[in-house]
Amino acid sequence: MTTHLLEKSTPASLGYFMPAEWEPHSDTWLAWPRNLDTWSKNDLHDIESIYIKIICNLIKGERINILINDDHYQNKIITLFHRHKLDIDSVRLHKIPTEDAWVRDFGPNFLVRETPSGRQIAVTRWRFNSWGEKYPWEKDDSAEHEIVRKVKLPWFDPGIILEGGAIDVNGKGSCLTTTSCLLNSNRNGGPSLNKMEKYLKDYLGVDNIIWLNGVLQGDDTDGHVDNLARFVNPTTIVYASEENKNDVNYLNLKSIVEPLKKAINQDGNPFKLIPLPMPRVIRHENFQLPASYVNFYIGNHVVLVPAFNDPNDEAAENILRKCFPGRKIVRIDSRILIKGQGGLHCITQQQPAH
């Protein structure tokens, strides 16, 4: 199938919807880290080791696609794969230049629909402006178009800005998001709630939108929901919970609990809510970083969980193990990764299986 723009229809009108992250993937997408404004040269060496560990755990269950800027990174990745005895043939390297590694936010999101002849996949190509023009973004926005061209799938163009970390879906019609991000004037001029809901319904195939309003200290995304609350099955949500009243995040995180309690699932019932503890405050150069266990990534056979050398690492792991009984839980040391103000979910993007 050759790529083509479906410009006269919305995904929902054609039966497409965004599946939940725990549904089967064909691929995971990554962008190889390289930005020295995000991580120092020494930190980048550690970040590359983190990427190798991520790939080692995901590659057993799905293909890996990696965006690279040039041949230098191709040679580096091949060398690293040989060193770790990984099969480079199981990875697709794409020479698509990017500004940074946050493919969840600047990459496309994938949709599915069920037809008599089988499952079909399409792509929504949202626009990206680096979380409200905070950093350079031109290469990242162009990269999304190149990914769409590479996957050779039909695609939709809503014509507005939306980052992948700003939404989370349960695959049954419900979507978690935040007003602080989606209604922000630095994206799309600050649209009304009703207007943004129409975009979400039309282009994600959802009909039940749960609006939260919270921002972790140090989060330059203006409150991405993948740091705050996530679906772990169609009827259950885990959410970040801070019990220390003296913590700067205490009130912000308390503010998301009430709308979660009021939310109803696709069957008209309240969601089961499970609090995830927060790690202790992590600072870099006296700047508080937005560390959160909610920023996990669900692979086909594993769940990659952030770890911060914190007493709550084990508690978060145990909670998520109960949420995903059929998957291996793997801790990924994210103390260096979080220096870039992002986490495991931010650097990954799933492509659903046919």
Which residues participate in catalysis according to the annotation?
346
Give one DSSP letter per residue of 278-291, joined into a string. PPPP-EETTEE---
Q: DSSP 3-state assignment of 123?
A: strand
Helices (H) and strands (E) counted in the chain, each on its own, are: 10, 18
Rounded Cα distance between 310 and 104, Å, is: 26
Sign of the C-alpha dihedral, residues 76, 47, 69, 145? positive
Rounded Cα distance between 13 and 9, Å, is: 7
Query: Chain-centre distance of CA 235, in angstroms?
Result: 20
Phi/psi at 121 (5° precision) = -115, 140
Rounded Cα distance between 150 and 37, Å, is: 28
Give one DSSP letter per residue of 150-186, joined into a string. HHT--EE---SB--GGG-EE-SSSEEEEEHHHHT-TT
Residue 128 near residue 140, CB atoms below 8 Å: yes
